[in-house]
Amino acid sequence: MSGFRLKCFGLLLLLVLLVCSSLDGCEARKGKRWRRKSPSSSLARKKTRGKSGGGGHNHGGGGGSGGHTSPPPSSNQSPCPVTGSPTATFDVLDFGAKGDGVTDDTKAFEDAWAAACKVEGSTVVVPAEFEFLVGPISFSGPYCQPNIVFQLDGMIIAPTDAKVWSVGLLWWIEFTKLRGITIRGSGTIEGRGSVWWTNTDSDVDPINDELSLRAPQMKPTALRFYGSYNVTVTGITIQNSPQCHLKFDNCEAAQVFNVTIASPGSSPNTDGIHLQNSRDVMIHHTNMSCGDDCVSIQTGCSNVNIHSVDCGPGHGISIGGLGRDNTKACVSNITVRDVNMHNTMTGVRIKTWQGGSGSAQSIRFSNIRVTEVQTPIVIDQFYCDKSSCKNQTSAVALSGIGYEYIKGTYTVKPVHFACSDTSPCSDISLTGVELKPLQEQYHMYQPFCWQTFGELYTPTIPPIVCLQNGKPAGNRILSDRDVC
């Protein structure tokens, strides 16, 4: 009996050894396909690149300096499934990028992305201490694998040759139709936008004395996400964009944190973050200085949470302009809290065009600290960005808007509520609002209200006596055009 048990034990041990050997073979063959990049490899390449005699980079996944590769599996081995590991990296230097700030590295970025696109959880590496000149580029799905990381530690700079920019091009760097895309790192996206800011119809100054054609009048956004789900942007700096710095269009579940956005306060139309037709968005612990809205929330946005951000200079945080060109706008469930604003044109603002329809509702501004802000609280349903606009009766309906603990100093007017005659603002509430003029001796405007209904839950500084208590009389019946 004991002999039988020994035989069974021996057979079981042999079976375990065979299974382990098979698994090791599979892992070895999977590990061969992707280069495991050591942290110092990019720096080492930079130091030795000039001595290499212009040798090409290895575009495959298995080549590496100083190491050896395992032999290919023999044909009689059973095939093992190939899956990407979290360490699958694709360094743009391996695809021919020079990173000298002069050579066009666009093709290398496209090739690195094409390789990473095939591997779930892969990482495109833009290494530190390099400057990569990259033209307009789209990192596109929808057939890419999910959860790709774009590790940006170096600097990406925009070209200044107008011939590179097609007329009507709306973006410089675009990520489109992706599931689970993360841009992270300590690097910088440098838009070199000053030529766009100063360019006018009568001003055809060359860029760096090399530009023979004028830049198109349509200015591109520096970084745009379109039609993507589960988007994260963290750690990076975006600066000096020709127009908007960071845009989300038709995206869901996006978050931005620990990001710096910077351009001069005099740079025109350089919004920090622009949201359109996007929902479930969170922006926090981010510093923004620009020449337009720090955050602009447009039609189609809902469930947006902004907190712990610093804004200024700029135009503040704005919802709108909504309803332009008689369009329907729908915005709901917006929260802006724990924000510092300094030297901005407005603080928290809602702006709509005459002639629009739809609604903006369930909006909360809380714990906003303002310093030297021209007008901290604004609702403007007569918004117009040109010399004159046609008077129209219809308007985007505004309701359910709360202002809580907005405190600090202003330089022009504390509150400006200009609502539509045919669609007055309703359910406007104010709690703990304390706004003081920067210097008492200067002439300041008093709070202004027009067709604004709601409630003061606490006394305000200064007193906002123009707010009408309750609800507007004879609320109009909403048509299908108005309902969101």
- Candidate list 91, 94, 105, 292, residue with the active-site label: 292
Residue 48 burial (CB count, 10 A): 10
Distance of alpha carbon 429 from its chain centroid, rounded?
Answer: 30
Torsion sign over Cα 63, 65, 71, 73: negative
Euclidean distance between CA atoms 66 and 50, whole angstroms: 18
Peptide bond into 313 cis (omega under 30): yes
Phi, psi for residue 205 in degrees, rounded to 5: -65, 135
Euclidean distance between CA atoms 263 and 78, whole angstroms: 58
Query: Rounded to whole angstroms, what are the CA distances from 177 to 24, 69, 194?
Result: 37, 36, 30
Question: If you compute the radius of gyration of the chain from its CA atoms, what whole number of angstroms results?
Answer: 28
Answer yes or no: 480 catalytic. Answer: no
Residue at token pair 């406007």: 428
Answer yes or no: 292 catalytic. Answer: yes
- Candidate list 57, 274, 315, 416, residue with the active-site label: 315
**Residue length, the chain?**
484
Q: What letter does residue 326 receive in the DSSP assignment?
A: G
Residue at token pair 């080549």: 63
DSSP element (H, E) containing 28: helix 2-33
Query: Rounded to whole angstroms, what are the CA distances from 4 to 17, 373, 465?
Result: 20, 90, 98
HSE, side-chain direction, 13 A CA sphere, residue 458: 11
For residue 266, give the amino acid letter: S
Q: Which residues are catalytic, by number?
A: 292, 315
